[in-house]
Amino acid sequence: MDTPADRGVGPEDRAADTDVVAMEVSQRTIWYTSIVCFLAWVFSVYDYTLFGTLLPKMAGEFNWAPATSTAIATFVAVGTFIFALTVGPLLDYIGRKRALIVATVAAALSSGLTALTPGAIYLTIVRSFSGLGWSEEVVNTTYLNEIYGARRRRGFMYAFVQSGWPVGALLGAATSALLLPVIGWRGAFLFATFPAVVIALLGLMLKESPVYEVVKRVRRLERDGRHQEAEAFGRRHGLDVHHTGENTFRQIFEPDIRKHTILLSLAWLLNFFGIQAFSVLGTTVLTQGKGVSFGSALIVLIIANVGAFIGYLSHGFVGDYLGRRRTIAGGWMIGGLVFTVMLFGPDAEAFVIPMYAIGLFFLNGPYAALLFYMGESFPARTRGTGVAFAHAMGPIGTIVGSALITAILSAGFPMTVAAFIGGSLGMFLSGLCMLGCRDVGNDPRQAEVLPEDERDAVPAG
């Protein structure tokens, strides 16, 4: 029988191996990590939504025409998409903890540099950094999926973290309303910088994911030419090591997960048709399409953020029992039908407002289950890249959905038809795409795709 010395394994290697094997995540670590991830997401959303909220004020100072403002917003969306793609490789190559710190610092930089805006080109460039901040939820789903492990209520736990979206959106709106008359739009952006810096400092005390420690150890062994040891070590920890030497973007289009990557990306893109129609353009659809007064529409949007919070918790809870893939697909398909009924049903506010609120419950709520499902559905070796790639389709869906609605309206069709084709239909189709994605149960260990003769090495959930 060969010894560690025979295999060329020194004391440092044995220590590293033991550290990874013995690493367990304490309840205290879980709580601290969850709180930091929640706060990081809240203030990333705060920065992300603040731009849209304050763009009219910025346009007023620089005398931008409406077409100039929308062009800036479009170019910012493109920049956001480009930077959002970088978070995946960051997760897979520098680690989950460091990626969280980078994303949070990027959000702080985006806010701080925006406060110094001298013109349109500068603004477009610095707001592109918000793509890293917006992708902080990609960091959360990858990191927390591995920190929570196989705990039974982990989907519900993650739903609380994901609920930072409505919290951040409401915080940004409230801060703007309170501080804008006093410090102006530049001061509002500068104010958003400081909490993000504090959160980045809190992130320094986080512990790295034990799964990533395994991935890092396997890569080190592979670099040293010790492939058999890397394979044995990875198998012992339920990790597929057969593609670790490949570029992670190439890995997500390998035959074993190509179909899943494509359908999941399409689901994100199509669902953002619904986000654009009923969240971003919600007041326009309600006022121009259904005759709801502007004051009532604003009240509905406020209630919608509360409904979204409840929707996150509800879908996170249901996903733990029925399976996240089915929960996401069912929620979006139901929501698409609800919005369709609202659009073509009576124009009475007593009918429209409840239907709109219910539709948003099923549009936003499944994202709590979706983000966690994404972390479960990709192998650990490429988890960050796979999640980030699909997630980056959101801004593309926003651009395509907006262009589709504009084209339908320009062709002379009413807002109800435009919102149906550019919103409800896309939302329903996104649910169908989810049904074609990988079914890995609710156990992240099932995400590993191993050769036939090694699959027994990964325990069933």
Q: Which residues contact 196 (CB under 8 A, 6 or more apart)?
A: 40, 43, 44, 47, 104, 105, 107, 108, 111, 133
If one counts every other C-beta atom within 10 angstroms of the C-beta of residue 63, the result is 7
Q: Crossing angle, helix 154-162 and helix 294-322, to 10 degrees? A: 160
Contact 91, 252 (CB under 8 A): no
Instruction: Find the CATH number of the domain harbouring 57.
Output: 1.20.1250.20
Residue 233 pLDDT > 70:
no
Q: Burial level of 74, CB count in 10 A (0-12/13-18/19+)? A: middle
Q: How many domains would you assign to the chain? A: 2
- Residue 289's nearest CA partner among 353, 358, 341, 343 is 343
- The SS3 assignment for 6 reads coil
pLDDT of residue 52: 73
Dihedral sign for Cα atoms in the order 146, 80, 184, 304: negative
Q: Do residues 437 and 372 share a domain? A: yes
Mean pLDDT of 96-112: 89
pLDDT of residue 259: 92
Question: DSSP for 180-199?
Answer: HHHHHHHHHHHHHHHHHHHH
Q: Do residues 266 and 167 share a domain? A: no
pLDDT of residue 330: 95
Q: Which of 206, 232, 256 represents a domain boundary (last residue)?
A: 206
Q: Do residues 144 and 259 share a domain? A: no
Best mean pLDDT range from 68-77, 111-120, 232-241, 426-435: 426-435
- Residue 87's nearest CA partner among 424, 392, 393 is 392
How does pLDDT run across 244-292, given as a tens digit for each residue? 555 556 778 877 788 999 999 999 999 999 988 887 667 677 777 877 7
Residue 16 belongs to a domain: no
Question: For residues 361 and 311, what is the distance between their CA atoms, to the nearest angstrom?
Answer: 5
Residue 178 belongs to a domain: yes
Question: pTM of this prediction?
Answer: 0.71
Question: For residues 258 and 266, what is the distance between their CA atoms, to the nearest angstrom?
Answer: 12
Q: Do residues 272 and 178 share a domain? A: no
Q: Do residues 194 and 270 share a domain? A: no
Residue 11 belongs to a domain: no
Residue 6 belongs to a domain: no
Q: Do residues 294 and 387 share a domain? A: yes
Q: Do residues 257 and 403 share a domain? A: yes
Phi then psi dihedrals of residue 242, to 5 deg = -75, -15
pLDDT of residue 88: 78
Contact 460, 287 (CB under 8 A): no
pLDDT of residue 10: 44
Which of the four pLDDT bands, split at 50, 70 and 90, describes residue 7?
very low
The chain-wide mean pLDDT, for the chain, equals 79
Question: What percentage of the chain exceeds 70 in pLDDT?
Answer: 79
Q: Do residues 198 and 283 share a domain? A: no
Question: For residues 401 and 404, what is the distance between their CA atoms, to the nearest angstrom?
Answer: 5
Q: Which residues contact 11 (CB under 8 A, 6 or more apart)?
A: none
pLDDT of residue 398: 82
How does pLDDT run across 108-128, given as a tens digit for each residue? 888 899 999 998 899 989 988
How does pLDDT run across 302-342, given as a tens digit for each residue? 677 677 778 888 888 898 888 889 999 999 999 999 999 99
Contact 340, 286 (CB under 8 A): no
**For residues 64 and 384, which has the higher predicted lDDT (pLDDT)?**
64
Mean pLDDT of 374-389: 79
Q: Burial level of 356, CB count in 10 A (0-12/13-18/19+)? A: buried
Which of the four pLDDT bands, split at 50, 70 and 90, describes residue 180?
confident
Q: Do residues 285 and 342 share a domain? A: yes
H helix and E strand count, the chain: 23, 0
pLDDT of residue 371: 78
Q: Do residues 391 and 308 share a domain? A: yes
Q: Which of 152, 174, 206 represents a domain boundary (last residue)?
A: 206
- Residue 339's nearest CA partner among 412, 402, 410, 276 is 276
How does pLDDT run across 22-49, given as a tens digit for each residue? 456 778 888 899 999 999 888 888 887 7
Question: For residues 444 and 377, what is the distance between their CA atoms, to the nearest angstrom?
Answer: 7
Residue 242 pLDDT > 60:
no
**For residues 369 and 444, which has the higher predicted lDDT (pLDDT)?**
369
Residue 39 belongs to a domain: yes
Residue 457 belongs to a domain: no
Q: Which of 178, 206, 234 represents a domain boundary (last residue)?
A: 206
Residue 231 belongs to a domain: no
The DSSP symbol for 406 reads: H
Residue 400 pLDDT > 80:
yes
pLDDT of residue 9: 42
Question: For residues 129 and 114, what is the distance between their CA atoms, to the nearest angstrom?
Answer: 10
Amino acid at 134: W
Question: For residues 279 and 301, what is the distance between their CA atoms, to the nearest angstrom?
Answer: 8
* Start-to-end C-alpha separation, the chain: 33
Mean pLDDT of 401-423: 87
**For residues 36 and 212, which has the higher predicted lDDT (pLDDT)?**
36
Q: Give the max Cα distance, the chain.
A: 81
* Structural element, H or E, at residue 53: helix 27-62
Best mean pLDDT range from 9-13, 51-55, 331-335, 354-358: 331-335
Residue 5 pLDDT > 70:
no
Query: Which stretches of 276-424 are DSSP H helices?
Result: 282-284, 290, 294-322, 324-344, 349-364, 366-377, 383-391, 393-410, 415-419
The DSSP symbol for 413 reads: -
- The SS3 assignment for 241 reads coil
Residue 290 belongs to a domain: yes
Mean pLDDT of 45-72: 79
pLDDT of residue 247: 55
Q: Do residues 197 and 254 share a domain? A: no
Q: Do residues 151 and 299 share a domain? A: no
Which of the four pLDDT bands, split at 50, 70 and 90, describes residue 66?
low
Question: For residues 62 and 132, what is the distance between their CA atoms, to the nearest angstrom?
Answer: 27
Contact 96, 212 (CB under 8 A): yes
Range of the domain at 72: 26-206
Dihedral sign for Cα atoms in the order 63, 69, 71, 75: positive
